Amino acid sequence: MNEQLHFADSGEAADLAAFLGRLVHYDRAAAVRLQAGGGAVAVFGRPPSFDVLAIRTVRLAASVAAPLDVTVSAGELLESVDEAAAAVTVPRAVTGPPWTGVLPPRGGWRQLAGLPGPEAMGRAVAAAIAEFRARDEALPPQHRTRSERDRIGREIWSRCLGDTELPLRAVHAAHSLGFLRPVRATVAAPASAEPEPLALLAAGSWLRLRTPYGSVATRRPGATGGLGAFQVRPV
């Protein structure tokens, strides 16, 4: 019998469903890795084209009896979320893609300075999207190929945000996944339930954009050729 997880409240269930829905929108065959321990479960996904890992942590109503670490279909997990009951039934495990063995470190993160606020990040993403569209429209018909558009996209989204090392693609992913929206007000929420503030963190060769609704992690510029080139190892 598949394990059932009970969330702290229906809002947690709704946020997880929204996150999974966005992943499935980008890739109907998406897989996610779940790691549950203590009073929370972390869900890791990789939206295509962004070259980042997205992490959504969901509070549980009670600590799990035993740690859970499994890779499942994002679509099946989404279908099993019961918002009214604030619960989810973990579907059967699947053979995950290589990235599921290359998760960011659990600890050792330190905060970096220089991260702009959410509004400034939103403007940076909007400006990058506008630049891509303008450059795409300016291409001669014979140059409007997938490879040329990909080249323009890589150039734009590989740029760093302001004075930080964070690539714009990570901010774009956070924006597209709904991580940069205003914080939802909660009634009589305990101090332990307060969302973590927006921050840019680093651990070794990893960078992580942390928001109240989730995180986006990527390798620092120059560390490797991207997520696809990482050495696969369990975490």
Domain boundaries, the chain: 4-111+182-229, 112-175
| Order of all β-strands in the sheet with 53-59 | 68-73, 31-37, 40-45, 53-59, 214-219, 206-211, 199-203, 110-112
Q: Which two tokens stand for residue 46?
A: 């990789």
Record: fold of 4-111+182-229: DNA Polymerase III; Chain A, domain 2 (3.10.150)
Strand 206-211 relative to strand 199-203: parallel, antiparallel, unpaired?
antiparallel
- Exposed, middle or buried: residue 68 (CB in 10 Å: 0-12, 13-18, 19+)? middle
Spatial separation of the C-alpha atoms in residues 168 and 162, rounded to whole Å: 9
**15-53 pLDDT, tens per residue?**
999 999 999 999 999 999 999 998 999 999 999 888 899
Radius of gyration of the chain (CA): 18
Q: Does the pLDDT value for residue 229 go beyond 50?
A: no
- Residue 151 identity: R
Neighbour-count burial for 198-224, b at 16+ CB within 10 Å, e otherwise:
bebbbbeebbbbbbbbbbbbbbeeeee
Nearest to 111 by CA among 207, 212, 191, 217: 207
- Residue 137 identity: E
**44-90 pLDDT, tens per residue?**
999 988 889 999 999 999 998 899 999 999 999 999 999 999 999 99
Q: Does the pLDDT value for residue 185 go beyond 90?
A: no
Q: Does the pLDDT value for residue 183 go beyond 70?
A: no
